[in-house]
Amino acid sequence: MISVEEAISIVKNSIVKTSETEVISLGSALGYVLSEDVVSPIDMPPFRQSAMDGYALNLGDTNNYEIIAEIKAGDTSLPQLNKGQAARIFTGAAVPHSANAIAIQEHVTAENTMLTLEKEVAIGANIRGQGEQVKKGQVALAAGSVINPAAIGFLASLGISKIAVHTKPSVAIVTTGNELIPAGTPLKHGEIYESNALMLESAMRRCNYTNVSTFKVKDNFENTVSLIRDLNKKFDFIIITGGISVGDYDFVGKALEELEVTPLFYKVKQKPGKPLYFGKTQKNFIFALPGNPAASLSCFYNYVLPGLEIASGNTDFSLPRIRARSTSNYQKKGDRAQFLKARYQQDEVTILDGQSSSMLHTFAIANALVYLPEDTFEIKIKDEVEVIMLPIN
């Protein structure tokens, strides 16, 4: 059994950034990683802009100006101001070449065409310089940048509608188990509703993975082999849940062996998620997550998500880790490292009830995991602990 740290480093060292790239529309690029520098096709701003509502001035020798024109945002023909002349101007409007400062309207008195400054105005005041964010021909956003909402806004402001990105991996989620039935069917004694597929798919969608398909298989060796053989040909990542432990009807490990998948690790000294498996074929990566729902989700965040992000080109990815004071006491049983469902709020973290790997009721209100390393056995109120923030809202 390997440690959490070893397992994470095996995932990070085994998965490499995809060599496939594609050009996609900016509107669907959230979470993708740029495969090429984006060079700005324009100066931004494209012209000298007024940053305020007020008066554009050709600065003169006195505080008195003659107002000769009005310039609204979007106006394209601009007046010529002589020294001592002003134009009424509004935020976002183009500043005439002949103007060298903007006086904000709160600092002037204006009557008909007469303007009096009540405060000194410095040269260049309240003017956004042409190209002050980025100049035409400069790199606006470098290859390797993750496209977030601000990046989409910035590139859209440059008039860009398509960008080159690293292709995101395709993912198959496979649930295993005779006991699993779909919602909408009455439960017979011994059956449970299948919940991992929708949960993991949602977690992936939340992290901008949309090329995700789900499959199910009963506890049957031949069917498991044949489904995974088929999926191996079609998907970059296969995420299996359940059937990876040691029971007589746990066929996933045996199926992966039959298919000659190269194991990279099996069993991690952690709770939840001890029987976590990670392996690879020539074409793809396979994670087998324990079927217990909370173990499945915890392993997704800690191992699968970093793997998917690296494959997508986000090679520096890790979930944010912070330190916070615990508002709870916690006593660990056993010597496995633990990922504890927790709620972080205002510099404090509360370890939630219901830590069993089968329990989702408190995972549903958790926004973080407290990480308790192998050699820490107890948390006391006010102890500083390591908190892993979850990408949930």
Ligand X SMILES: Nc1nc2c(c(=O)[nH]1)N[C@H]1C(S)=C(S)[C@@H](COP(=O)(O)OP(=O)(O)OC[C@H]3O[C@@H](n4cnc5c(N)ncnc54)[C@H](O)[C@@H]3O)O[C@H]1N2
> Does residue number 175 form part of the binding site for ligand X (CB under 6 A)?
yes
* Region from 85-93, 128-136, 143-151, 290-298 binding ligand X, contact rule CB under 6 A: 290-298
Provide, rounded to whole angstroms, the least separation between the CB of residue 198 and ligand MOO.
19
Tell me how far apart the terminal alpha carbons of the chain are, to the nearest angstrom: 34
* Region from 80-88, 98-106, 175-183, 385-393 binding ligand X, contact rule CB under 6 A: 175-183
Q: What is residue 104's DSSP assignment? A: E
Binding-site partner at residue 386 among ligand X, ligand MOO, none, CB < 5 to 8 Å by type = none
Please compute Rg for the chain using Cα positions: 30
> Does residue number 180 form part of the binding site for ligand X (CB under 6 A)?
yes
* 229: its two tokens: 């053989």
Nearer residue to ligand X within complex by CB, 196 or 326: 196
Cβ neighbours of residue 333 closer than 8 Å, sequence gap 6 or more: none
Q: What is residue 70's DSSP assignment? A: E
DSSP per-residue letters across 198-258:
HHHHHHHHHTT---EEEEEE-S-HHHHHHHHHHHHHH-SEEEEES--SSSTT--HHHHHHH
The Cβ of residue 55 has, within 10 Å, a number of other Cβ atoms equal to 27
Q: H or E element: which one contains 297? A: helix 293-299
* Region from 87-95, 133-141, 174-182, 385-393 binding ligand X, contact rule CB under 6 A: 174-182
* Distance of alpha carbon 298 from alpha carbon 314, whole angstroms: 20
> Does residue number 338 form part of the binding site for ligand X (CB under 6 A)?
no
Mode of pairing for the β-strands spanning 321-326 and 348-351: parallel
Nearer residue to ligand X within complex by CB, 249 or 377: 249
Report the site for ligand X in 186-215 (rule: CB under 6 A): 192, 194-196
Nearer residue to ligand MOO within complex by CB, 85 or 270: 270
Nearer residue to ligand X within complex by CB, 189 or 233: 189
Ramachandran category for residue 85: left, alpha or beta (phi over 0 → left; psi -120 to 50 → alpha): beta
Binding-site partner at residue 195 among ligand X, ligand MOO, none, CB < 5 to 8 Å by type = ligand X
> Does residue number 357 form part of the binding site for ligand MOO (CB under 6 A)?
yes
Report the site for ligand MOO in 283-342 (rule: CB under 6 A): 290, 292, 295
Report the site for ligand X in 260-279 (rule: CB under 6 A): 272, 274-275
User: For residues 59, 62, 66 and 71, what is the CA-based torsion angle, rounded to 10 degrees?
Assistant: 30
> Does residue number 253 form part of the binding site for ligand X (CB under 6 A)?
no
- What residues line the site for ligand MOO (CB under 6 A)? 271-274, 290, 292, 295, 357
- What residues line the site for ligand X (CB under 6 A)? 175, 177, 179-180, 192, 194-196, 241-247, 250, 272, 274-275, 290-293, 295, 357-358
